Structure formats: structure tokens, C-alpha cells
Chain A
Amino acid sequence: MNGREMIRTENLNKSFGKLHVLKDIDMSVYESEVVCLVGASGSGKSTLLRCLNFLEKKDNGGIFIRGEKVSPDTHNLNHVRQTVGMVFQHFNLFPHKTVLENIIEAPTVVKKFSKTQATEEALELLQKVGLEDKADVYPSKLSGGQKQRVAIARSLAMKPDILLFDEPTSALDPELVGEVLATMKELADEGMTMVVVTHEMGFAREVADWIVYMDDGKIVEKDRPSEFFDHPKEERTIEFLKATMLK
């Protein structure tokens, strides 16, 4: 265990109509940990991630952030979301704003930072993700990998405690995957707490502290990467790994 608990779910359940998507999810992530969520498509990974920053409303169970139970009745979710950032598969950059404007939008509008201060910090973030020369460009002029790095910078601009990634490289051409993973690895090395849904098993093995394998809305196995990949315990995990490695 690294440090303090950052986020935890307790008996989390979620259904869409009759479809029971998350079943009694108990999961915890500690400070500076990287947790990779893996599993077949439709197993509920995105839904779990979206529940963690309240884009999706859980049916029952608890979500604890830094030990505090968070619910829409007792908390302003807009404040909670400032501490739990999210990076999307399709980037979701604001197309009518430049790269710089994308990044300073939330700091100036939500945190009321001055434009000067927000810009200064944004330029630092752009430098960090290697795109300082793209500040005044519109997103449509960027490659997928560049878009995703801007999206990461945009999330970081709110100084979140935890960053959630939902298949951040799945929409990218293969040759652009590496640059995004490198940026994520750098973040992980700096101690960012991260939950990453990914199919990049190489990344998971190298960067993750824990691998969580989900199937059919349940957590089937949670283990250290070396154990998970080299000595998987559950039948379903073994099947999944076989299928994944064959691809």
C-alpha cells in the first residue's frame, strides 16, 4: 500500500433498465497508484469509471473519495468532479476553442482563475505534454495523439487528485498510441493517482500497480501485474488473457 485511500467503492450496483451492469463492485485505489481496468467489451468498465466521477448515477452502494462518502444529496458534484478528472476515448475537446482555450476554460470559468494565471499554467502543461507550439491551433488541426495529449493537459489544469482514463488510446491509429502512453507513464511516474481502462496490456504490465479484471459487471480478479499476467488464478482470467494475447 502506497499511501492514503483516494477512492473506494463499496457494493456498487448499477443497472440500465433490466440490464444489471455493475454487480457489487468493491474497489479501492490508494494515493499514487495506477490501476488498470481490463476486460471484454460490455463488461462494465466504462460504466464503473463514469460512476466514479458521477457522470453516471449509481443505483446503490457507496463511493468514498478520500475516505468521505460522496452522494448527490450531501455533496456538490461539480466540486467533486474537480478532484476526479476524466480523459475520454474520443478526446471530447471543444472544437470551437483553441488548444489553449480548451485548457483554460475550466480553470477560468469554474475556479475563477485570472486568464493570465490560467494561461501561464496551461502553457506549462502544454510543454509537459510536448505541445507548446500548438497553443493557438484548433483541435481539428491536430492528430489523434495530439488531441488526446491536449485532453490530458485540459484535465490536469483542474489539478485533480485522481485521473480516470476510458480507453484513451482506442480511437488512435497504432502509430500514435505510443506518444499518449508515454505521457500517461510520465504522469504515473510523477505520482498521479490513475484508473485506466485499457486494452494495452504492455502498458498495463509496465505501469500499473494493480490490474483489475472485470467480466459481466463483476470484478473477477485483482492482482499485481506480474501475478496477473504470469499466474492468473481465475478460469475466466486465463480465458481472457488467452484471447487478448492472440490478437
Chain B
Amino acid sequence: MPSFSHFFHTLNSSKGLFIDAMFLTLKLTLVSILIGIIFGLFFALLKISRVKILEYVSNAYVFLVRGTPLIVQIFILYFGFSGLFLIPDFWAAALALAFHNGAYIAEIFRGTIQSVDKGQMEAGRSLGMTRGVTIRRIILPQAFRRALPPLGNQFIIGLKDSSLAAFISMNELFNVSTTLGSNNFDEMTYLLIVAIYYLVLVALLTMAVSMFEKKLAVSDR
């Protein structure tokens, strides 16, 4: 274990590199969650499409993602993508993470869509609206709103999962910590430091999510 003074000294001297890495981690997470939301919405809609084959496709996607380790998915997609087309490492990593997050987000959306009272669909239909229009204008806005807190949680999970992008040479937080650690023959210090960065980020995000939830609860109509 490093001494306190050594730890704080290293924490201070490495902050430039870690802060850059932190921004990369945040960017990677944000992009992968946003794309994951698009994937998730798409597959959630397939799931409720009432077209058997599309439901199977959606089920298969969720099954594959949930049934395999993220690191395996990242490697397959990374080598798959870079084998097929030239794509910057950042986007390979972001897409791999998005593919992964998308499955969990699809489940979030499926759940919140199904949690909207059946009477809403019936009211829409009884006014002459089609099923599609009712889903788009009545069901989805309510489902989105309910999805916000779990999406916030998925963001936090996604943030920590993004550390696996280190294995495809993204210079995000975890990669920086292991690189600095082995260069300086001081792995433990840098691992403790990176843990602090993650903790602070997660704490801030948790606070943001809960503030957001409170705000939603207040304006909940």
C-alpha cells in the first residue's frame, strides 16, 4: 500500500492525464448511451410490434447481449468492425458499448411501455386514432418519462462498463491508470486513484439522477 503522502502527491501530479481520460470516458459513455437509446427504442418497438418475426429478432438481440460477457462483445465488434471497414477506434468502442447498452435500454423501454395503463391505448383507439399513432403520441411520451430514472442508472453502469474499452486501446480512465501504473512500477497507487475518479463521477451522476427524479415527482401529473 502506498503511503498517504505518496498517494496524494501522485494524485496531484497525474491529474492532467486523468482529467483528459475522464473526458474520454464521459464522451464514450454519453455517445454509447445515446446510440444505445436509439437501439433500445428500436428493439423495444420491434418487441411490441405484434409481428412474430420482429419480436423474435428483438428477443434474440437481448438474449445475445445478456448472455455473453461485455468484453467478448467488445472484441467481436471491434475486430469485426475494423475487419470490415475502416472505423476510428473511438467509434468502434462506442458502437460496441452502444450495442451492449441498447439491449438493457430496450428492456427498460419495453417495461415502461407496458407499464402505461391499457386504458390509454383504448382511449386513443376510441377517438379514432390508429394503434401506431396512439403509441407514438400517447404511450411513448409517458413511457419515456418513466424510463428516465432507470436510464440514469444505465448511464452509471455504462460509465463503469466503458473501462473495458481499455482493452481495445482507448485511452480512457482505466487504460491510463494501468499504463501509468506499469510505467512507474506503481500499479496500486494508480488503481486507487482511478477508483477515486470513478467514485466521484458515479457520486455526481447519482446525485444528478436523484435530483432529476425528485423534479419529475414534483411535476408529475
Contact = CB atoms under 8 A, between A and B. Distances in A.
A155 interface: yes
B119 interface: yes
A79 B127 CA distance: 9
B127 A110 contact: yes
Interface in B181-221: 220-221
A110 B119 contact: no
Given A86-B126, A106-B127, A141-B221, 8 more contacts: A55-B125, A81-B125, A88-B122, A88-B126, A92-B122, A96-B221, A110-B129, A140-B221
B221 A105 contact: no
Interface stretch (B48-56, B138-146, B154-162): B138-146
16 contacts: A55-B122, A81-B126, A81-B128, A88-B119, A88-B122, A90-B119, A92-B120, A92-B123, A95-B221, A96-B221, A105-B138, A106-B128, A106-B129, A109-B137, A110-B128, A110-B129
Interface residues of A, number: 28
B127 A81 contact: yes
Contacts, number: 67
B30 to A, nearest CB: 26
Nearest to B220: A140
A138 B122 contact: no
A105 B127 contact: yes
Nearest to B118: A92
A85 B142 contact: no
Contacts of A105: 127, 129, 137-138
B126 A53 contact: yes
A78 interface: yes
Interface residues of B, number: 19
A158 interface: yes
B133 interface: yes
Contacts of B221: 95-96, 138-141
Interface in A96-128: 96, 105-106, 109-111
Given A55-B125, A139-B221, A140-B220, A94 B138 contact: yes
A88 B122 CA distance: 9
Contacts of B119: 88, 90, 92
A82 interface: yes
Nearest to A84: B126
Contacts of B128: 78-79, 81-82, 106, 110-111, 158
Given A139-B221, A140-B220, A141-B221, A95 B142 contact: yes
A58 interface: no
Contacts of A8: none
Which of A86, A109, A138 has its CB near the most chain B CB atoms (within 10 A)? A109
A150 B2 CA distance: 68
Closest 8 CB pairs of A and B: A138-B221, A82-B128, A106-B127, A92-B123, A92-B119, A86-B126, A140-B221, A110-B128
A95 B116 CA distance: 11
A149 interface: no
A55 B121 CA distance: 10
A92 B137 CA distance: 14
Contacts of B137: 105, 109
B127 A94 contact: no
Nearest to A110: B128
A29 to B, nearest CB: 17
A154 interface: yes
Which of B119, B123, B221 has its CB near the most chain A CB atoms (within 10 A)? B123
Contact of A96 (B117, B127, B145): B145
